[in-house]
Amino acid sequence: MTVKVKRKLWIFNSFIPARIRFNNESVGTLYGSQEIEIPMQESEGELKYYQPVGRNDQLQVKKEDVVQVEESLLGKVLGILLVTFLLYLLMRGIGIIDFTNHSNYEQLFNIEKILLSILFVIAVISLFFKTNKLVLLNR
């Protein structure tokens, strides 16, 4: 008997591997939209998703359960924020966004520095929050 673990992808979830542990033993790593089957000797056990920096999630599973690693709402919001930030930097680097045409460009530069600093602080703090969760699909 086995437990099947799937991975549901969202924006940047495919770039970060998901390490899976069963009863505190490493059983595999999910990359992209892979799935693994974990052989079970006992009738039930504890399945964990391991994040190197963030918080881990755990779930009690039984034989023949199907579990999915999903991104939480916070993870989705942070992914959208990251994509927006990268698009902004790209447009700024190419020259699509240019503040030097405005008469108050020095104030705009200062506002930009403050907003980018706040965004950086939010990004660093968000590393310590749980951005993925284990969801049992067959119950």
* Residue 81 Cα distances to 18, 58, 74, 76, 84, angstroms: 21, 27, 10, 9, 5
Number of residues that make up the chain: 139
Same domain, 58 and 89: no
Count of CB atoms situated within 10 Å of the CB of 132? 24
Mean pLDDT within 62-67:
90
SS3 at position 114: helix
What is the CATH number for 52? 2.60.40
- If one counts the domains in the chain, the total is 2
> pLDDT value at position 66?
92
If asked whether residues 20 and 66 sit together in one domain, one would say yes
Q: Which domain holds residue 13?
A: 2-72+130-136
pLDDT in tens, 84-112: 888 888 998 898 888 778 888 889 889 98
